[in-house]
Structure 1
Amino acid sequence: MGRWEPNARGRLERAALALYRERGYERVTVAEIAREAGLTERTFFRHYADKREVLFGGSAALQEFLVGKVAAAPADTSPIELVVAALAATGEVFDERRDRARQRQTVIDAHPELRERELIKLATLATALAGALRERGVEESAAILAAQAGIAVFQVAFVRWLADGERDMAELVRGAYEELRTVTAGG
Structure 2
Amino acid sequence: MLRRHRVGREAEHLADGLGFVEHGFDGVTVAEIASAAGLTERTFFRYFADKREVLFPGHDEFERSFLHGLEKAPDDDPVSLITAALAGVAEFFPDERQAWSRTRNAILQAHPGFQERELLKMSSLTATLTRALRERGIVPIAAALAAETVGTVFRTAFTAWIAEDETRSFTEIQDDVGARWHGLLTVRRS
TM-score (norm 1): 0.81
What is aligned with 1:93? Answer: 92
Q: Which residue does 1:157 correspond to in 2? A: 157
Secondary structure of 2:128's aligned partner: helix
Residues 111-143 of structure 1 show CA distances to partners (whole Å, capped at 9, x for unaligned) of 211111111111111111111111111111111
* C-alpha distance in 2 between matches for 1:180 and 1:101: 24
Q: Which amino acid aligns with 1:59?
A: H
Does the 8 Å contact 2:129/2:147 carry over to 1? Answer: yes
Q: Supply the distance in 2 between the matched residues of 1:13 and 1:106 (Cα, whole angstroms).
A: 13
What is the letter of the counterpart of residue 81 of structure 1?
Answer: S
SS at structure 2 position matched to 1:68: helix
- Aligned residue in 1 for 2:142: 142
Shift of 1:85: 2.5
Q: Which position in structure 2 is the counterpart of 1:118?
A: 118
Compare relative contact order (CA 8 Å, sep 6+) and give the higher one, 1 or 2: 1
Give the distance between the partners of 2:11 and 2:168, measured in 1 at CA: 29
Q: Which residue of 2 aligns with 1:51?
A: 51
Report % sequence identity: 40
Equivalent position amino acid for 2:181 in 1: L
Aligned to 1:107: 107
Which segments of 5 or more consecutive residues in structure 2 lack a partner in the other structure?
A: none
Q: Which amino acid aligns with 1:100?
A: W
Counterpart of 1:127, as a letter, is A
Structure 2 residue 31 is matched with structure 1 residue 31: yes
1:167 corresponds to 2:168: yes
Once superposed, what is the RMSD of the aligned Cα atoms?
A: 2.6
1:8 deviation in Å?
Answer: 4.4
C-alpha contact (below 8 Å) 1:9/1:47 kept by paired residues:
no
Q: Distance in 2 between matches of 1:62 and 1:71?
A: 15
Range that drifts further, 99-108 or 85-94: 85-94
How has the CA–CA distance of structure 1 residues 16 and 177 changed in structure 2, closer, same or farther, with 3 Å as cutoff? Answer: closer
Cα deviations across residues 50-79 of structure 1 (Å, max 9, x unaligned)? 22221111211011121122123212x422
Quote the offset at 1:23 in angstroms. 1.8
Q: Secondary structure in 2 aligned to 1:46?
A: helix
User: Which amino acid in the other structure matches residue 106 of structure 1?
Assistant: A
Higher deviation after alignment, 165-174 or 99-108: 165-174
Q: Matches of residues 5-24 of structure 1 in structure 2 within 5 Å?
A: 8-15=7-14, 18-24=18-24
Report the number of matched residues. Answer: 181
On the 8 A contact 1:48/1:57 being kept in 2, the answer is no
